C-alpha cells in the first residue's frame, strides 16, 4: 500500500495542501520542481501525484492504491510513466532525447503522460538545454516532475517554467510515525529521530546491527558509572565498538540523550523521554539536577574536543572520570 495524502499532510503539510488543492480544482501544473534535502519524501510525493492523475477510482484527491494504474505506478511499470535517473554521475542528453521520443508516440491507453527526473541538478548542460525545449513546448496531458536537493544548480530558465515546491526537513513526530509505519519499534524510532531528520538515514540506522549494539552499550556505560568498573568498560567495550570519529560522535549524542532523559525524569516530564524502554532504570538513578547539567556540559565539551583532533581514548577516559565525579 502506498502513502496517502492524509499521511503527507502530517509530514509535508504545505506541499500536500498545495498539491491536493490543485488536484481538487483540476489545475495541475505541466511542470513541478520538488526541492528539499535527502529523505524528505520528494519521490513519494511525485508518485502519489502521478497516481492521483492516473487512478481509475479516485476518491476526491485520494488515489485508491488498488486499481490497475495505481498498482503499475507503484511497481514501476506503467507505460506512460517514466523515471529518469543519473547514469553514473550525470543525466545525459541522450536520456532526455529518449524520453522525448517516447512522449512523441501516441499513448496506447491515454494521452496523459508523466516523467519524473531524479537528481535533476545532475543534468549535463546539453541535457538541461534539451529538457528546456521540452518544457517550453509541452505536449497536452504531459506532466514533468523534477526532483532535486540542489535547486541552485538548475538553469534559471528551467526553474522559471516549473512550479517549485519546497520540502521541509521532517519534524520529529512525523519521522517517528514514518518509522513506526515501516515496522520499527518506538524506542528505536524515537532515538534516531533525535539524531537525524533524514528518513533514509534514520531507516539505515534502525536496521544497522552496529547501531543497536551502540544504543545498548551507552545504557550499560551509564550503569557502569555507578562503580569503579567504568574505565575498564570504556577500554574493553566502548573503544572497541566506537572506532571512527563519526561513530564516537553518535555514541556521545546517545549519551547526551540519556542525560537529557535523566533530567526529564527529575522534572517529572517523562512524556519527553527518548529512551522510553529505560524509564524504570533511569528512575533508580539518584542524580541531582546540578550533576546532570554538569554531565551535559562535559559531554558537549568532549564532542568539541574530538572535532579538534585530540587523543580519542584520553578524551573519553577524562569524560568518564568527570561523569563519575559528578
Q: What are residue 167's DSSP bridge partners?
A: 36
Residues 273, 262: Cα–Cα separation, whole Å: 8
Residues 35, 163: Cα–Cα separation, whole Å: 11
Instruction: State pLDDT tens for residues 169-193.
Output: 878 888 898 899 889 999 999 999 9
The answer to whether 167 touches 34, Cβ cutoff 8 Å, is yes
Lowest-confidence region among 234-243, 261-270, 293-302: 234-243
Instruction: State pLDDT tens for residues 54-66.
Output: 999 999 999 999 9
State the cell numbers at 112.
496523459
Which among 33, 107, 42 has a CA at the least distance from the CA of 69?
107
What's the mean pLDDT when you consider all of the chain?
A: 90
State the cell numbers at 77.
511499470
Phi, psi of 106, rounded to the nearest 5 degrees: -75, 130
State the cell numbers at 211.
547501531
Residues 33, 162: Cα–Cα separation, whole Å: 6
State the cell numbers at 294.
554538569
Domain 5-169 falls under CATH 3.30.470.20: no
State the cell numbers at 151.
535547486
State the cell numbers at 94.
541522450
* pLDDT, mean of residues 287-311: 88
Q: Domain 208-325, what fold?
A: Zinc Finger, Delta Prime; domain 3 (1.20.272)
The answer to whether 113 touches 30, Cβ cutoff 8 Å, is no
What pLDDT score does 244 carry? 83
Which among 135, 127, 52 has a CA at the least distance from the CA of 86?
127
Q: pLDDT at residue 286 above 50?
A: yes
C-beta neighbour count of 54 within 10 angstroms: 23
Residue whose grid cell is 481509475: 56
Residue 125 pLDDT level (bands cut at 50, 70, 90): very high
What is the residue extent of each domain of the chain?
Answer: 5-169, 208-325
Q: Which positions ≥6 away from 305 have C-beta within 8 Å?
A: 315
* pLDDT, mean of residues 240-267: 92
Cα separation of the two ends of the chain? 51
pTM: 0.67
Amino acid at each position: 500500500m502506498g502513502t496517502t495524502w492524509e499521511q503527507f499532510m502530517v509530514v509535508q503539510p504545505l506541499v500536500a495542501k498545495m498539491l491536493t488543492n490543485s488536484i481538487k480544482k483540476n489545475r495541475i501544473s505541466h511542470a513541478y520542481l520538488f526541492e528539499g534535502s535527502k529523505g524528505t519524501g520528494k519521490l513519494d510525493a511525485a508518485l502519489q501525484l502521478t497516481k492521483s492523475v492516473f487512478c481509475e477510482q479516485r476518491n476526491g484527491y485520494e488515489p485508491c492504491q488498488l486499481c490497475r494504474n495505481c498498482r503499475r505506478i507503484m511497481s514501476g511499470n506503467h507505460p506512460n510513466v517514466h523515471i529518469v535517473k543519473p547514469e553514473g554521475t550525470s543525466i545525459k542528453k541522450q536520456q532526455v532525447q529518449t524520453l522525448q521520443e517516447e512522449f512523441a508516440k501516441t499513448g496506447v491507453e491515454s494521452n496523459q503522460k508523466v516523467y519524473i527526473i531524479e537528481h535533476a541538478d545532475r543534468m549535463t548542460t546539453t541535457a538541461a538545454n534539451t529538457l528546456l525545449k521540452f518544457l517550453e513546448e509541452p505536449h497536452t496531458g504531459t506532466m514533468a516532475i523534477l526532483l532535486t536537493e540542489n535547486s541552485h544548480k538548475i538553469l534559471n530558465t528551467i526553474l522559471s517554467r516549473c512550479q517549485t515546491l519546497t520540502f521541509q526537513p521532517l519534524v520529529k513526530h512525523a519521522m517517528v510515525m514514518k518509522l513506526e509505519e515501516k515496522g520499527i519499534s518506538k524506542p528505536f524510532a524515537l532515538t534516531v529521530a533525535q539524531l537525524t531528520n533524514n528518513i533514509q538515514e534514520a531507516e539505515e540506522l534502525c536496521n544497522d546491527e552496529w547501531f543497536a549494539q551502540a544504543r545498548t552499550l551507552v545504557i550499560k556505560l551509564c550503569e557502569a558509572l555507578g562503580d569503579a568498573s567504568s574505565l575498564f568498560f570504556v577500554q574493553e567495550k566502548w573503544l572497541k565498538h566506537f572506532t571512527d570519529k563519526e561513530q564516537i560522535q553518535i555514541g556521545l549524542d546517545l549519551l547526551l540523550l540519556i542525560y537529557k532523559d535523566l533530567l526529564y525524569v527529575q522534572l517529572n516530564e517523562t512524556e519527553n523521554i527518548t529512551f522510553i524502554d529505560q524509564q524504570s532504570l533511569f528512575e533508580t538513578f539518584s542524580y541531582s539536577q546540578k550533576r546532570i547539567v554538569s554531565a551535559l556540559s562535559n559531554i558537549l565539551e568532549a564532542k568539541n574536543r574530538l572535532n579538534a583532533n585530540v587523543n580519542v581514548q584520553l578524551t573519553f577516559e577524562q569524560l568518564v572520570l568527570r561523569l563519575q565525579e559528578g
